[in-house]
Amino acid sequence: MIDAVGVIAEVAWALLPVPLLVAGFVRLRGWRPRNWLRIAGWAGSWVAGMALMIQAAEWVVAGEDGTSGVLRVGEMAICAAWLMLGAVMTWILAAPAPPRARSVPDKTVTGV
């Protein structure tokens, strides 16, 4: 049972970032030419996140020969990099969305 849940979690871990990446592109309206710089930043931050995931996996594999209660400098650097990456991604997405076109006429001003 635990092995089956582990396999499902591994597949979900690999597939979940794809819709989130696309949702970021939609939120930033990446199809508009003036938003390409923000989209490039968004895609670059995802590439940096993947690199951090690989580096974290390498640190786990390197420490499998024994257990240690000591926090290593490399582990702290990866944690700091994750925090910085989260702050950058939040900053990219925090810009206000462009105004939407109004389909209903504005009735606050009357032409009397």
Residue range 62-98, pLDDT digits in tens:
666 556 666 677 778 888 888 998 888 888 878 765 5
Confirm whether 73 is domain-assigned. Answer: yes
In angstroms, what CA-CA distances link 12 with 2, 3, 5, 16, 56?
A: 15, 14, 10, 6, 18
Q: What is the pLDDT of residue 110?
A: 59
Domain that holds residue 48: 2-93
> Is 79 within 8 Å of 55 (Cβ atoms)?
no
Quote the pTM value.
0.60
Q: What is the pLDDT of residue 100?
A: 61
Confirm whether 105 is domain-assigned. Answer: no
Residue 2, CA atoms < 13 Å, CB-side half-sphere: 0
Q: What is the pLDDT of residue 68?
A: 61
Q: What is the pLDDT of residue 76?
A: 81
Confirm whether 50 is domain-assigned. Answer: yes
Count up the domains in the chain and report the number: 1
